[in-house]
């Protein structure tokens, strides 16, 4: 949408799915559960796992580094990082990311935290800034980067994950044009899920589902008010929903359609398969990615569906606590070529497959060094992961901690 005569949206997009994966049917068997439960009930088949030498900083840099050229680095005057996984309570990880991406110094940078909504908050802040024209043709870089905490043996263990997505925001929306005046939002203080300490995650996961649906309803009401009572039933070619797990999109789309028209089960299943299911292609393989969720869905949708430039999407983001937003966006003229160039399924297939025992050891190691002032990651603990996925590949890694100072370097 033009604001003050300015088009705005995503010019480039890239993603980093981590270097290791866990098959969720194997996890279910190890937990004595039905192996069909993750793929059939949750619509989740795998999750990404970080080694101890990766963290939200390295994932963010590794997502964005190859996407940016020298002109981009000079044009970026705003860098916003959406995350709920920052390793520091004061220092923003955006400063590390700015440094290692070699972005020019005349750049605002900050971290945006609002649970899973933080990435969309970062995107909207950047998009409105670009659209204002206040900085001319300057660009913004938005990165969403998160990793789950250890939840071994808990019912929600199947919906954990990790990953990062980088978005270059400019007045050249080759991938996705955001219609800034077509959005609806909703806020309500709830205690569904939260991270009260550097190690713990608390709340009520079942209640979170209902909070999500309440927020969707509230955001849709606002969208309809701002759209002047327009019929939303067939307004959008495709729908993207925040997905802590794929089946949440199923519930969300059912709630959306019930607001707009009476629909039978068979018709709903067809509509879901056509307008939503393609967006789950990759999120089913990376797990819960928090702030990056909707953007992994965007990559999956563009890569696996027959979309055309100008097709309109509805994108819904939810963050516990809570805030939600649904907004309208249009597929850009170069979306398919930009997304296809990521060869993202190949990236996923190249991850090192972990056994359940290896996964448990990795989670334990990553948790054990939280809050420690001194730490050196054991690079040889998961042979051949470091050798095959990092050594000589110029990926950023965590070298260690020295008196709480985080030391990073290129592999």
CA-to-CA dists, residue 138 to 2, 9, 175, 234, angstroms: 16, 13, 18, 36
Q: How far apart are CA 214 and CA 204, in angstroms?
A: 15
From the list 11, 84, 111, 325, the catalytic residue is 84
Q: What tokens were used for 206?
A: 């079942």
Instruction: Give the DSSP letter string of 366-390.
Output: HHHTTT-S-B---GGGGTTHHHHHT
Question: Catalytic site residue 179?
Answer: no
User: Chain-centre distance of CA 140, in angstroms?
Assistant: 17
Q: How far apart are CA 126 and CA 8, in angstroms?
A: 10
> CB neighbours (10 Å) of residue 18?
27
Q: How far apart are CA 172 and CA 358, in angstroms?
A: 44
From the list 242, 253, 352, 389, the catalytic residue is 242
Question: Catalytic site residue 52?
Answer: no
Cis peptide before 380 (omega within 30 of 0): no
- Biggest alpha carbon distance in the chain? 61
CA-to-CA dists, residue 145 to 119, 328, 383, angstroms: 9, 23, 25
Question: Catalytic site residue 242?
Answer: yes
b/e map 121-152, b = 16+ CB within 10 Å: bbbbbbbbbbbeeeeeebbbbbbbbbbbebee
- The SS3 of residue 215 is helix
Q: How far apart are CA 344 and CA 149, in angstroms?
A: 25
Q: How far apart are CA 265 and CA 252, in angstroms?
A: 15
From the list 116, 144, 211, 323, the catalytic residue is 116
Catalytic residues: 84, 116, 242
């Amino acid at each position: 949408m033009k604001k003050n005569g300015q088009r705005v949206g995503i010019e480039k997009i890239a993603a980093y799915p981590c270097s290791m994966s866990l098959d969720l049917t194997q996890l279910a068997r190890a937990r004595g559960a039905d192996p069909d439960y993750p793929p059939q009930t949750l619509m989740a088949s795998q999750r990404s796992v970080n080694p101890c030498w990766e963290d939200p900083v390295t994932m963010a840099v590794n997502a964005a580094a190859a996407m940016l050229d020298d002109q981009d680095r000079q044009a970026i005057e705003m860098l916003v990082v959406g995350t709920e996984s920052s390793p520091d309570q004061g220092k923003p990880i955006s400063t590390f990311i700015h440094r290692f991406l070699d972005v020019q110094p005349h750049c605002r940078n900050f971290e945006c935290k609002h649970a899973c909504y933080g990435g969309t908050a970062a995107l909207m802040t950047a998009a409105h800034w670009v659209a204002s024209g206040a900085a001319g043709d300057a660009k913004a870089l938005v990165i969403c980067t998160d990793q789950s905490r250890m939840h071994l043996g808990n019912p929600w263990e199947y919906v954990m994950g990790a990953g990062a997505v980088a978005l270059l925001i400019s007045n050249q929306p080759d991938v996705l044009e955001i219609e800034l005046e077509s959005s609806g939002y909703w806020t309500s203080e709830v205690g569904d899920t939260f991270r009260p300490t550097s190690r713990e995650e608390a709340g009520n996961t079942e209640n979170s589902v209902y909070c999500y649906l309440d927020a969707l309803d509230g955001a849709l009401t606002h969208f309809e008010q701002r759209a002047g009572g327009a019929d939303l039933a067939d307004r959008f070619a495709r729908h993207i929903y925040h997905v802590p797990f794929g089946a949440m999109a199923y519930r969300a789309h059912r709630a959306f359609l019930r607001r707009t028209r009476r629909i039978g089960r068979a018709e709903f299943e067809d509509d879901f398969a056509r307008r939503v299911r393609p967006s789950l292609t990759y999120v089913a393989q990376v797990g819960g990615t928090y702030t990056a969720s909707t953007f992994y869905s965007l990559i999956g949708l563009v890569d696996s569906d027959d979309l055309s430039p100008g097709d309109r999407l509805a994108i819904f983001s939810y963050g516990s606590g809570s805030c939600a937003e649904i907004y309208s966006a249009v597929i850009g003229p170069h979306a398919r070529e930009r997304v296809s160039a990521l060869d993202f399924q190949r990236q996923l297939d190249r991850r090192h497959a972990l056994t359940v025992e290896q996964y448990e050891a990795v989670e334990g190691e990553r948790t054990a060094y939280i809050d420690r002032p001194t730490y050196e990651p054991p690079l040889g603990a998961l042979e051949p992961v470091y050798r095959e996925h990092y050594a000589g590949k110029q990926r950023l890694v965590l070298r260690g901690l020295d008196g709480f100072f985080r030391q990073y370097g290129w592999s």
